[in-house]
């Protein structure tokens, strides 16, 4: 099976929609869910855009 050529953030979004409460990773012993990671990613991208990056 091959993975479609889609950007990394789209893979994250798909996981966040299909399993929002599942842990994406652990940060200092605290689980961060896919939904939380997706929201943080969107906020970071918006901030970069507002800075003109």
Helix (H, G, I), strand (E, B) or coil at 31: strand
How many whole angstroms separate alpha carbon 11 and alpha carbon 51?
25
Q: What is the pTM of this model?
A: 0.77
Helix (H, G, I), strand (E, B) or coil at 25: strand
Phi-psi region of 23 (alpha: psi -120 to 50; beta: other; left: phi over 0): beta
Q: How far is the first Cα of the chain from the last one, in angstroms, to the nearest whole number?
A: 35
Digit-coded pLDDT (tens) for 9-48: 888 899 899 999 999 999 899 999 999 999 999 999 999 9
């Amino acid at each position: 099976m091959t993975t479609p050529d889609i950007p990394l953030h789209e893979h994250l979004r798909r996981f966040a929609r299909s399993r929002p409460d599942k842990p994406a990773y652990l940060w200092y012993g605290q689980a961060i869910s896919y939904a939380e990671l997706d929201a943080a990613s969107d906020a970071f991208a918006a901030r970069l855009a507002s800075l003109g990056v």
